[in-house]
Amino acid sequence: MMKLLLLLSLVALSQCLVSKVTLRKGKSLRKALKEHGLLEHYLKLNPYNPASKYFPSLASTVSSEPLTNYMDMEYYGTISIGTPAQEFTVLFDTGSSNLWVPSVYCYSEACTNHDRFNPEDSSTFVATDDTVSIQYGTGSMTGILGYDTVEVGSITVSNQIFGLSETEPGDFFYYTPFDGILGLAFPSISSSGATPVFDNMMSQDLVSEDLFSVYLSNDDESGSFVMFGGVDSSYTTGGITWIPLSAETYWQITMDGVTMSGETIACASSCQAIIDTGTSLLAAPSTAVANIQDALGADSNGEISCSSISSLPDVVFNLNGYSFPVPASSYILESDGVCSLAFEAMDVSTESGDLWILGDVFIHEYYVIFDRANNMVGLSPLS
């Protein structure tokens, strides 16, 4: 009874707030309820609320996008662009900020075996004269920019700027199982100043919280997802450790050191790290990789005896005073009977120290929360 009374009072208040919203341009019902501390109660008590018919943001405040696990190395999901919708598979990449897909203007070999966007088939497409060029660690693209409606899970983003590729040089993207990339990093590193998709989700009031979270399955299992606007509490039973960002570019944090069996083996004087869903392995400065290879008994190519996996120690990444271990079963990869370390050499320096990339090998061990409201990353160990 109390629950019903509270629900009725919230509905009444929402109707009152709606009348105020019509007089205050730019104020959504969701924002009005949130300012009064009532949004969470309203949504929980009334999940089928009639207001969602008139205020779609209330119906789409949290959306989970399922991801396909491709050999534990790449994770991609399906989005749509345009009216009527044209579907594409994209890599959800926290290491970049642009959305782009192949287009009918592209005749690179990499475009010939992927879905291509045709702007003439979309009644909501808006063309621009602006161009875009993006260079990734592997692969690159050039193209033009346009605006259109983009659907990600149950969220519809209006007037989203995105790239239509005209060239995709080389063969990297030819062999990828996904069509394009949806970047989830900060606007500061977006090519051509294009507004990232998640920034538009926030500015258009499409998510209840200004954060998204990621679960990447291991051992070719299904169930991977990226959740926009919320956190799945079933993945945080081990608690959440929050780490402040050191730069609002990539999802960059300060790492205190890398240890094994209590001994520091790399990053002795602190360094920088980014948590990157778009990188499969663990990337580190070449000297650090050599130290790790020596400590684990691997050869200069990173190959190691498969029989040693059960006896090798965790590699521990120390972040903000906390330890985040990655076991040998994760940092050693086996292919055709050959085992090798999942570390690759990459020498990149920042103003605050050498850069490491904590890719999917690291993310497999943790449920990761990317919090734009507080500029933090949350890590919860997976059992």
Q: Residues 200-229: pLDDT tens digits? A: 999 999 999 999 999 999 988 999 999 999
State which of 210, 228, 246 marks the end of a domain.
Answer: 228
Question: What's the total number of domains in the chain?
Answer: 3
Whether residues 167 and 192 share a domain: the answer is: yes
Q: Assign 36 a pLDDT band (cuts: 50, 70, 90).
A: low
**Element holding 339 (H helix, E strand):** strand 338-341
Task: Report whether pLDDT(43) > 50.
Answer: no
CATH code for the domain of 180: 2.40.70.10
Q: Closest Cα partner for 100 from 137, 151, 63, 146?
A: 146
pLDDT tens digits along 153-166? 999 999 999 999 99
Whether residues 87 and 214 share a domain: the answer is: yes
Q: What is the mean pLDDT of residues 240-266?
A: 96
Peptide bond preceding 84 in cis form (omega within 30 of 0): yes
Whether residues 212 and 292 share a domain: the answer is: no
Q: Closest Cα partner for 229 from 39, 64, 14, 366?
A: 64
What is the dihedral angle through the alpha carbons of 275, 280, 281, 285, rounded to the nearest 10 degrees?
-60
Task: Report whether pLDDT(49) > 60.
Answer: no
Q: Assign 354 a pLDDT band (cuts: 50, 70, 90).
A: confident
| Single-letter amino acid code for the residue at 246 | S
- Domain holding 49, by residue range, is 2-20+27-59
Q: Assign 37 a pLDDT band (cuts: 50, 70, 90).
A: low
Positions annotated as catalytic residues are 93, 276
Q: What is the per-residue pLDDT for 350?
A: 78
Q: Closest Cα partner for 326 from 317, 318, 335?
A: 317
Strand partners, 217: none
- pTM, entire model: 0.85
Whether residues 74 and 213 share a domain: the answer is: yes
What's the length of the chain?
Answer: 383
Whether residues 338 and 282 share a domain: the answer is: yes
Task: Report whether pLDDT(61) > 90.
Answer: no
**Element holding 157 (H helix, E strand):** strand 155-167
pLDDT above 90 coverage of the chain, percent: 79
Higher pLDDT, 71 or 41: 71
Class of residue 167 by CB neighbours under 10 A (exposed 0-12, middle 13-18, buried 19+): middle
Q: Assign 132 a pLDDT band (cuts: 50, 70, 90).
A: very high
Q: What is the DSSP letter of 292?
A: H
Whether residues 278 and 332 share a domain: the answer is: yes
Neighbours of 297 (CB within 10 A): 10
How open is the CA angle 338-339-340, to the nearest 5 degrees? 125
Q: What is the mean pLDDT of residues 238-253?
A: 97
Q: What is the mean pLDDT of residues 48-66?
A: 58
Whether residues 50 and 81 share a domain: the answer is: no
Whether residues 79 and 162 share a domain: the answer is: yes
Whether residues 104 and 188 share a domain: the answer is: yes
Q: Closest Cα partner for 361 from 190, 218, 257?
A: 218
Task: Report whether pLDDT(22) > 80.
Answer: no
Task: Report whether pLDDT(44) > 70.
Answer: no
State which of 228, 251, 278 marks the end of a domain.
Answer: 228
| Single-letter amino acid code for the residue at 186 | F
Q: Closest Cα partner for 327 from 380, 364, 290, 374?
A: 364
Whether residues 281 and 143 share a domain: the answer is: no
For the chain, give percent helix, strand, coil, nearest 5: 25, 40, 35
Q: What is the per-residue pLDDT for 268?
A: 93
Higher pLDDT, 37 or 64: 64
Q: Nearest 5°: phi and psi at 117?
A: -80, 135
Determine the Cα–Cα distance for residues 334 and 314; give it in Å rounded to an integer: 17
- 189-198, 312-321, 345-354: least confidently modelled range: 345-354
C-beta pairs of 230-236 under 8 Å, 24+ apart in sequence: 230/61, 230/62, 231/369, 231/378, 232/64, 232/367, 235/367, 235/380, 235/382, 236/367, 236/380
Q: What is the DSSP letter of 35?
A: H
Whether residues 335 and 294 share a domain: the answer is: yes
State which of 228, 247, 275 marks the end of a domain.
Answer: 228
Q: What is the mean pLDDT of residues 286-305?
A: 95
Q: What is the mean pLDDT of residues 268-291?
A: 96
Determine the Cα–Cα distance for residues 111 and 114; give it in Å rounded to an integer: 5
Q: Which residues contact 25 (CB under 8 A, 6 or more apart)?
A: none
Determine the Cα–Cα distance for residues 176 and 201; give it in Å rounded to an integer: 27
pLDDT tens digits along 172-194? 999 999 999 999 999 999 999 99
Task: Report whether pLDDT(252) > 70.
Answer: yes
Q: What is the per-residue pLDDT for 155?
A: 97
- Residue corresponding to tokens 């070719």: 220
Whether residues 31 and 84 share a domain: the answer is: no
Task: Report whether pLDDT(143) > 80.
Answer: yes
